[in-house]
């Protein structure tokens, strides 16, 4: 496994296992087609770990379908990382703290604007 993949795995594993709840972005309007939306429940520790493993062994080969799979896996890792940071900030500093609000806004903005699956 490459050094970069190991670093990403370490980041994911070192954090707490996220429960399916709470949903952080329920109040944010979603403009992405429902069948294309990444849901918060898609961004679990197990899915992020699997995405990293898949990225490591299935490097892009140039086909469009393969590239979409790679991009979707990267989205799982990024979305999971942003969500985990928001939950950690809320737990450490309180849900109404400046750090928690900032990281929750960053996660929810990403989810609303870039939280879609490539198809």
Is the pLDDT at 17 greater than 70, yes or no? no
What mean pLDDT comes out for the span 53-80?
83
Is the pLDDT at 11 greater than 60, yes or no? no
Confidence of residue 1 (pLDDT cuts 50, 70, 90): low
Which residue would you say has higher pLDDT here, 69 or 6? 69
Confidence of residue 67 (pLDDT cuts 50, 70, 90): confident
Q: Where are the alpha helices (DSSP H) in the chain?
A: 3-14, 45-57, 64-93, 98-114
**Closest alpha carbon to 89 in 107, 65, 114:** 107
Is the pLDDT at 112 greater than 70, yes or no? yes
What mean pLDDT comes out for the span 37-65?
85
Which residue would you say has higher pLDDT here, 8 or 46? 46
Spell out a b/e string for 47-75, using b for 16 or more CB atoms within 10 Å of the CB, else e: bbbebbeebeeeeeeeeeeeeebbebbeb
Task: Record the tokens describing residue 14, joined without a space.
Answer: 């070192």
Question: What pTM value is reported for the model?
Answer: 0.80
Confidence of residue 59 (pLDDT cuts 50, 70, 90): low
Contact indicator for 49, 13 with CB cutoff of 8 Å: yes
């Amino acid at each position: 496994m490459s050094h970069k993949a190991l670093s990403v795995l370490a980041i994911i594993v070192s954090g707490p296992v996220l429960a399916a709840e709470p949903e952080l972005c329920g109040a944010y309007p979603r403009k992405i087609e429902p069948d294309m939306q990444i849901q918060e429940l898609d961004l679990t520790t197990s899915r992020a770990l699997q995405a990293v493993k898949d990225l490591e062994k299935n490097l892009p080969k140039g086909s469009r379908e393969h590239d979409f799979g790679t991009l979707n896996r990267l989205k799982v890792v990024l979305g999971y990382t942003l969500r985990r940071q928001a939950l950690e900030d809320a737990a450490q500093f309180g849900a109404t703290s400046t750090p928690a609000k900032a990281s929750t806004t960053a996660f929810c903005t990403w989810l609303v604007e870039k939280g879609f699956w490539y198809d």
